[in-house]
């Protein structure tokens, strides 16, 4: 079983995947009611020159 499928993982409020997400306006709301709005796109390159794209959110 994958850890993402465990009951403990699914009920952990610290995991962003368990937060409410509004796709239309592109924001998350954490369990404390704090809204995280989309801030911008970021790129990161590791020491092996592999580049990853991220979406950044700010409270």
Tens digit of each residue's pLDDT (9 = 90 or more) over 14-37: 888 889 999 999 999 999 999 999
SS (H, E, C) the chain: CCHHHCHHHHCCCCCHHHCEEECCCCEEECCCCCEEEEEEEEEEECCCCCEEEEEEEEC
Tens digit of each residue's pLDDT (9 = 90 or more) over 44-57: 999 999 999 999 99
Tens digit of each residue's pLDDT (9 = 90 or more) over 1-12: 678 788 887 888
State the Cα–Cα distance between residues 54 and 40, nearest whole angstrom.
9
Look at residue 1 in the predicted model and tell me its pLDDT.
65
CA angle (22, 13, 58) in 5-degree steps: 50
- Let me know: does 25 contact 6? Beta carbons within 8 Å: no
Look at residue 40 in the predicted model and tell me its pLDDT.
97
pTM metric for this prediction: 0.75
């Amino acid at each position: 079983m994958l850890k993402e499928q465990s009951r403990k993982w699914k009920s952990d409020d610290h995991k962003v995947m368990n937060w409410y997400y509004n796709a239309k306006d592109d924001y998350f709301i954490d369990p404390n009611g704090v809204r995280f709005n989309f801030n911008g796109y970021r790129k990161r390159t590791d020491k092996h020159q592999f580049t990853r794209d991220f979406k950044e959110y700010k409270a």
